[in-house]
Structure 1
């Protein structure tokens, strides 16, 4: 194993980091898996804008399944596993899922702004096909950025802690190529999306405030506006959660462009890395707290095989029970004679 792939952390910290990532991976798979199951169960009733929430769940689930097992094993191995090949793979998947996530959040903010502030005719242009095209464009855009380091602009490499890989920001101050990539990436894929999120949700908040004052007398319109406000708050929390998790990591990466990272303690490098990876956990819990529909779907998934048993009354000899499984959670026991009829 090369020196750059040896862990710079103590064995206790490595085991702790691995255990934390294992917990994050389990919660991510369970939570986002539930989101996808609920989406499949109501696929015919999904609104076009909800497809973006489904795509966000997919990005988080892909990250958990393709990246976290390798990171956990490397942490517990006290050194990166697989060498350069697995390091490039890990960095590429991290960029792919990260860029896809933040661009999906940006698209959600723009769509929410259009729905809130535009006329009915304009809002109707947000149909399923347009959203699907947007999702394809998001993944292609993320793929382009993840391929840049493979084509010579930027470089994937191990992080200072030695048990994780991403763009080689630790040595960025020594390379104009890597420094330029990190700077441009930070501006286009972090600053611009974050600014878009802030502007969109600030404008939406202003519109909701105006609508609250103008429509309070109309109960039906007031109720609709209240529901839209709730959806907006949910979307804001999802965005804030993602940006808040990645902000420390982005800050330390950008700082390394202008300063050497040699003097950064391993713990300082570890904590932003773990905090960023935890961003895949929160969204399902936010959906569960704010969406009664999502809570209902989760309960139906949980109890899909638990039904109500109806015991027949009559002659036991003639009423032999047979089980009929209904669509979701109804299990009926009927007389065998009636079943044949």
Structure 2
């Protein structure tokens, strides 16, 4: 379903409508189901997907935090950052996914305008914490394994400082719409809320805020991740070449190469569609677009609450072993994580 323009309503939100619609107030996403925007099956499909993200994301991230509290051996500097990532993911799944589950099931934002602003802010905050935590993890791996600062030791205090940075920057990035630079409004099918990236109201300077988010909350973390993991792979290949006869070294290289590819692809798959579509709308004002193309990327970006812990935690053998013990599903000796194995590889690699 395509719409020809965006018209401002008396309430503090915008909604795409047909040109021949007269009574636009009848379409308030805070008051009535948005059946005119899509079929009921699409709304229910989005609700079902949000149920999946909410249940799986909440469970895995809570387990990550619980395991770290219960097992002292998990309280390393890297795992502090993983817990920080889990907290950001938990915010997205508990607030964003649960809210979207309820609103998609009802086909409109049943909680009202104030809750829309709160949900938009909380999800953006959690999303920014998660994004920057991914960059911090990559940066930590680069410092520990590639040793660009020589004998510098990355300590728990440094990890805590990095975690604090993610929350401070996330607040800086997510708070402006609460104070007039852009705003949080219903987006897409009007059942989830986010920054205003698709209206033409110059009062809120939406374009500049979208570009700010793109530069500092997508491009910079992505560049950091790609640079750090590229250097990591180069270091691993040098170590593997120097120890060509070492089966453990070759295995560590293969494992980390696989994890790096999964990490970067996961980041791109979840965030590129949403970012790209927002940029397209900002740079093509007045062009018609299908509302499903606005909703699906926004909903899919919340999947990071699931894929992040799967990649960074469940692929970590030590975390996985502790989780299985906590659930009564395993009793073997804890194994070292592949990232810890890589650290050992780097110690014997070329100087």
Give the TM-score normalised by structure 2: 0.78
Which residue of structure 2 aligns with residue 155 of structure 1?
Answer: 183
In the TM superposition, what is the alpha-carbon distance from 1:274 to its structure 2 partner? Answer: 2.2
Is this contact kept in 1: 2:82–2:312, CA < 8 A? no
Distance 1:122-1:224 versus aligned 2 partners, 3 A rule: farther
SS of aligned partner of 2:288? coil
The answer on whether the counterparts of 1:170 and 1:261 sit within 8 Å (CA) in structure 2 is no
**Aligned residue number for residue 41 of structure 2:** 12
More helix by share: 1
Aligned-residue offset at 1:81:
1.7
Q: Deviation per CA, 1:73-105, whole angstroms, max 9, x where unpaired?
A: 111111112222011111101210111111111
Are the aligned partners of 2:244 and 2:250 in contact in 1 as well (CA < 8 Å)?
no
Q: Would the aligned equivalents of 1:201 and 1:236 in 2 still touch at CA under 8 Å?
A: no
User: Match for residue 76 of structure 2?
Assistant: 47
Q: Are 2:244 and 1:216 aligned?
A: yes
Q: Paired residue for 1:143?
A: 171
Distance in 1 between the 2:132 and 2:109 partners? 30
Higher relative contact order (CA 8 A, sep 6+): 2
Across the aligned residues of Structure 1 and Structure 2, the Cα RMSD in angstroms comes to 2.6
TM-aligned CA deviation for residue 52 of structure 1: 0.9
Equivalence for 2:205: 177
120 and 272 in structure 1: CA distance in 2 versus 1, 3 angstrom threshold? closer
Partner of 2:259: 234
* Contact kept in structure 2, 1:87 and 1:157, CA below 8 Å: yes
CA shift for structure 1 position 148 = 0.9
Task: Please tell me whether residue 75 in structure 1 is matched to residue 100 in structure 2.
Answer: no
2:319 corresponds, among 288, 294, 303, to 294
Contact 2:92 2:126 in 1 (8 A): yes
Residue 258, structure 1, aligned to residue 287, structure 2: no
Contact 2:120 2:184 in 1 (8 A): yes
1:247 aligns with: 272
- 1:196, distance to aligned residue in structure 2 (A): 1.3
Q: Tell whether the 8 Å contact from 2:74 to 2:319 is kept in structure 1 after alignment.
A: no
The Cα of 1:227 is off from its aligned counterpart by 3.8
- Equivalent positions of 1:61-140 (< 5 A) are 61-118=90-147, 122-124=151-153, 126-140=154-168
Task: Kindly indicate whether residue 347 of structure 2 is the aligned counterpart of residue 303 of structure 1.
Answer: no
Which has the higher Rg, Structure 1 or Structure 2?
1
Is the Cα contact below 8 Å between 1:29 and 1:61 reproduced in 2?
yes
Mark the CA change 1:35 to 1:229 in structure 2 (over 3 Å): closer, same or farther.
farther
Deviations 1:111-160 (A, max 9, x none): 11111111796342x10011101111210110111111112211111113
Matched residue SS, 1:38 = helix
Count of equivalent residues:
302
Deviations 1:48-77 (A, max 9, x none): 122111111111112111222221111111
| Distance in 1 of aligned mates of 2:164 and 2:261 | 23
In structure 2, relative to structure 1, the CA distance for the partners of 1:95 and 1:267 (3 Å cut) is same
Specify every segment of 5 or more residues in structure 1 that has no aligned partner in the other structure, as ranges.
308-341
Residue ranges of structure 2 left out of the alignment (5+ in a row): 1-10, 12-24, 332-351
Mapped partners of 1:232, 1:139: distance in 2: 29
In 2, Cα distance between equivalents of 1:227 and 1:42:
25
Go from structure 1 to structure 2 and tell me whether the alpha carbon gap of 1:110 and 1:233 turns closer, same or farther (over 3 Å shift). farther
